Structure 1
Amino acid sequence: MTHTTRLNRTNIQTLSGGRTASIVEIDGEAIRLISSTRRKKTISASMRDGMVQLSIPATVDDLQIITVARQLTAKVKERQQRSNESSTDDELMQRAEHLAKVWLGGEVAPTSVVWSDRQKTLWGSCTASTGAIRISTMLRQMPQWVIDGVLVHELAHLKYPGHGDDFQAFCHQYPKMKEADAFLDGVAFAQQNS
């Protein structure tokens, strides 16, 4: 283990609210730092786009960042692993069948519903001709009602290929569809602006 006391920051970006984003390497792993002039004491870690992200006060020195990163990276990865294991494709399929029955009157039935690592720009996709639905693994960290909204959206494509009025009316039978859409719009906006 290299005992570096100075971090080499790359991909430096100025964000809103007195925040700066950069990428550093600690023990051979790329970590995204979000330093904030507003943040006074707390340091938090999360997994974002497959990378550990540390949110830190702007006043924290590099040695402290390295020490905290080593502690929190392991915890974040362990939490991510548990989350990934907690929801299988079988459970996702059962959830989709349940939602189709409860909110879509049993009018649609998928042939398969799976988590997909390939979905990087879409939350989900549906091949109506085969009844196959793929849900982005990026959703695993999100609230269940948001995942349900994406599942209902994709289920609705089994009946309606486009996003017209009939499609909208059909999928908005799910009572939290508006909130799920707004939540995902917020996530997408934050990702584009971070």
Structure 2
Amino acid sequence: MSRNAGPEQPRFAPDGTPVVVRRSARRKRTVSAFWEGGTIVVAVPARFTHAQEDEWVQKMLHRLKSKEAAKGPNVRNDVELASRAKLLSERHLGGRAVPSSVRWVSNQNSRWGSATPADRSIRLSDELQGMPEWVVDYVLVHELSHLLVAGHGPRFWEICGAYPEMDQARAFLEGVAYAQSRGLAAD
């Protein structure tokens, strides 16, 4: 892992994933790791030495990667996301939806994804990262469908409905939104 100087400066895991270490004076003994956008954040107590920090970053990267491997594949960067969108378009939409770009964004707080048919771009909220793959796939198919039909009329839902887990994914996202609106969602 390479290390850059300064707080909140990303390091890079062996696979090239950015890693940021956050030191907290309120944190006494616990260490945690989580995804924030396309970056792995490792939160450590402020009192840790650099050697302890390095040791725990390695441990937490291993734990996070092991947990992900147990869950199955998940899309973590824009290249993987674009590749997944292409596969889903071919599989469910006959390859008719061809986006010019597909990327994760951190500035979508009121929606899971958006598409701009004029320039054929798709953006997915990074809050989807860590959700089940079939839910992310649904949001991708939903946005790909907007490249074919702009609104949410019957023709749109007919096209989008080609994704077999659409109803379950919509229910899952409604549950997440409900929990978040009541402060019940975990960080």
The TM-score by the shorter chain falls in which range? 0.5 to 0.7
How far the C-alpha of 1:28 sits from its partner, in A, is: 4.6
82, 101, 115: which one aligns with 1:126: 115
Q: Secondary structure at the match of 1:76?
A: strand
Instruction: Using the TM superposition, give the Cα deviation of residue 86 of structure 1 relative to its aligned residue in structure 2, in angstroms.
Output: 6.5
Question: How many aligned positions are there?
Answer: 129
Name the residue aligned to 1:193.
Answer: 182
In the other structure, the counterpart of 1:36 is none
Q: Which consecutive unaligned segments of at least 5 residues does structure 1 have?
A: 1-25, 30-65
- In structure 2, how many angstroms separate the alpha carbons of the residues matched to 1:192 and 1:28? 29
Aligned to 1:159: 148
Matches for 1:15-164 after TM superposition, within 5 Å: 27-28=24-25, 67=28, 70-71=29-30, 74-77=31-34, 81=40, 87-164=76-153
Distance across 2 between alignment mates of 1:92 and 1:106: 16
Q: 1:183 to 1:107 in 2, by over 3 A?
A: same
Whose radius of gyration is greater, 1 or 2? 1
Cα distance in structure 2, aligned partners of 1:95 and 1:182: 22
C-alpha RMSD of matched pairs (Å) = 2.6
Which protein is richer in strand relative to its size? 1
1:50 is matched with which residue?
none
CA distance in 1 between partners of 2:82 and 2:136 (Å):
12
Task: Summarize deviations over 1:88-132 as a string: whole Å, max 9, x none.
Answer: 101000000000000011111111000001111110000100010
Please report the TM-score for the alignment, with normalisation by the length of structure 2: 0.63
Scaled by the length of structure 1, what TM-score is found? 0.61
One-letter amino acid matched to 2:128: L
Kindly state the Cα deviation for residue 75 of structure 1 after the two structures are TM-superposed.
2.1
Q: Hey, what's the Cα distance between the residues in 2 that align with 1:162 and 1:86?
A: 27
Consecutive unaligned residues in structure 2, runs of 5 or more: 1-22, 41-60, 66-73
2:82, 2:102 within 8 Å by CA — same for their partners in 1? yes
